[in-house]
Amino acid sequence: MILAAGRGERMRPLTAITPKPLLTVRGKALIDWHVEALAKGGFKDLLINTAWLGQQIPAHFEAQKVLQAHQNGQDGPFDTRQLSIFYSHEGRDFGAALETAGGIARALPQLGAMFWVLAGDVFAPEFTFLQSAVDAFAASNKLAHVWLVPNPAHNPKGDFGLGGGLALNLPADSDQPRYTFSTIALYRKTFFDDLPFGNSQGIKAALAPLLRAAMDNQQVSAELYQGPWTDVGTPARLAELNAINSSN
C-alpha cells in the first residue's frame, strides 16, 4: 500500500494543483520511484489511497498504460500494464483523508494478511523490497516490522529507539539514541484490530499511537536502513534533491 492521500500543506504552492506523490523528483513522479521498486521486488499488486486531488493519481497511471502500449513498453522504467493497481478513494468517500491508520484500516479488505506500507512522499531510491523480508516477517510472531533511518536535520530527536531487533518506544528523556521512522514497514492485518475492519464510518486515526502501543508489548521488530532517504516535505527539500541530480 502506498499512502498518497495527504494534502501536502507544507509543499504549497506546488501542491495547489498537483498531489505531492506526482511531483517530479529526478525526472519522474515521486510515486513512480516506489512503484518501480516494488515491481522490481516482485510485488505487483498495489493499492494506493487518495484524497487531495486524488483523481490525478489513477489518471497518471492510465496515461502511462496508454503511452507504454504505444511504445510497446520499450521506454518506460517499468511496464505499468503488468501491474494490478487498486485504489481506496478517501476523498471521494469521506471528503478528506483519514490519516495513516484510518486510511490503512479503510483499505484492509483489499489487502493481504501481510502487506508493505510506505508513504508516497518519501524518496528512498536504493531501498529494495525483498520477498525474503516478507518471509522473515511471516516466520516471526510480530505484528509489524519497521525500517528506521538516521535522523534528518528536520527531525533531530528521532521517533523510536532500536535494540535487540525491536523498535522501542523510548521516553523523551531517554539517553538511548532514537531514529526516524522511514514510513516503510510490513504489517499484519491484525495490527489494526483496534480499528473497525474496512473503516466504513471514515474514522480518522493516527498510526504512531498504535505503533507505540505495539512496541510496549514487544510486537514491532525493526532494522536500520542507511541508504539515501528523504522526507520530501517542503519545496526546499524537493529542490535540493533535483539540484543534486542536476549537478551529477
pLDDT at residue 201 in the model: 96
Cα distances from 2 to residues 48, 102, 122, 170, 193, in angstroms, run 5, 14, 10, 27, 20
* DSSP letter assigned to residue 125: T
The answer on pLDDT for 132 being more than 70 is yes
Predicted pLDDT of residue 117 = 98
Q: What is the pLDDT of residue 83?
A: 87
pLDDT at 77 over 60: no
What is the predicted pLDDT for the residue at 121? 92
pLDDT digits (tens, 9 = 90+) for 92-106: 999 999 999 999 999
Q: What is the pLDDT of residue 78?
A: 64
Q: What percent of the chain has pLDDT over 90?
A: 79
Instruction: Say what the pLDDT of residue 12 is.
Output: 82
Residue 20: half-sphere exposure toward Cβ, Cα within 13 Å: 26
Task: Return mean pLDDT, the chain.
Answer: 91
pLDDT score recorded for residue 72: 60
Statement: residue 74 has pLDDT above 70: no
How far, in Å, are 98, 103, 104, 211, 228 from residue 107 at the CA level?
A: 11, 6, 5, 18, 29
CA atoms within 13 A on the CB side of 43: 24
**For the segment 173-217, what is each residue's pLDDT rounded down to a tens digit?**
888 999 999 999 999 999 999 999 999 999 999 999 999 999 999
Residues 150-172: tens digit of each pLDDT: 999 999 999 999 999 999 999 88
Is residue 222 within 8 A of residue 144, CB to CB? The reply is no
Between CA 152 and CA 150 the distance in angstroms is: 6
The strand pairing partners of 29, in sequence order, are: 24
pLDDT tens string 4-62: 998 877 878 888 889 999 999 999 999 999 999 999 999 999 999 999 888 999 999 88
Question: In 28-51, which positions are buried (b, 16+ CB within 10 angstroms) versus exposed (e)?
Answer: ebbbbbbbbbbbebebeebbbbbb
| DSSP conformation letters of 164-231 | TTEEE---TT-SS--BEEEEEEEEEGGGGTTS-TT-TT-----SHHHHHHHHHTT-EEEEE--S--EE
Q: What pLDDT does 9 receive?
A: 78
**Counting beta carbons within 10 angstroms of the beta carbon of residue 151, is it exposed (0 to 12), middle (13 to 18) or buried (19 or more)?**
middle
**DSSP symbol at 154:** T
CB contact at 8 A, 215 and 194 = no
Specify the amino acid at residue 177.
P
Query: Are 52 and 86 within 8 A, CB to CB?
Result: no
The DSSP result for 34-96, as a single string, is HHHHHHHTT--EEEEEE-TTTTHHHHHHHHHHHHHHHHTTSSSSS-GGG-EEEEEEHHHHHSS
Q: What is the pLDDT of residue 94?
A: 96
Q: What integer pLDDT is reported at residue 172 of this predicted model? A: 80
Which pLDDT belongs to residue 30?
95
User: Could you say which architecture CATH assigns to the domain 2-247?
Assistant: Alpha-Beta Complex (3.90)
